[in-house]
Amino acid sequence: MGCVYVKSGVQFTMIAPGGFRILSALEQVANTSPFDLVITSGCDGTHSGPADPHHEGKAYDVRSHEFTLEQKDKLLASIMAILGWTYFYGFLESPGTDNEHFHFQVAKGKVYPDPLTSASSGAGGGDQTSQEKTT
């Protein structure tokens, strides 16, 4: 059974509902596989600017270098099978380079959870972060 670890310096200053869903999928896959997963980027880093989903708690990077190509394919497929492709996107970024890593995020243009299909009991409520959610 594997475990999810966090690289030193990674920040989780904001976690959106979609971010919690990604973290849950990582934990589920680690718990059912022999592999440890290491989160290498959360809200930290420069990425693609201030509106980057990492800074909004909607994207995470995971180390991939120690896995074989077959293991990478299996891990990516397993995580995306939990997340689904409707609201999430995941891929192996910069394959074969020193910057290679898995990238998972709420899909561009999507809101998770969908406010039209979320329960009105307060459990859903759009794409607010846990810090913004009011009762």
pTM of the model as a whole:
0.84
Tens digit of pLDDT for each residue in 42-99? 988 765 666 789 989 999 999 999 999 999 999 999 999 999 999 999 999 999 999 9
- Which of 20, 41, 134, 43 lies closest to 93 in space, CA to CA? 41
Selected residue with higher pLDDT from 55 and 8: 8
Domain edges within the chain: 4-106
- Does the domain at residues 4-106 carry the CATH identifier 3.90.1150.10? no
Q: Catalogue the E-assigned strands of 1-135.
A: 4-6, 37-41, 59-63, 88-93, 101-106
* Mean of all residue pLDDT scores within the chain: 87
Per-residue confidence at 105, pLDDT binned at 50, 70, 90? very high
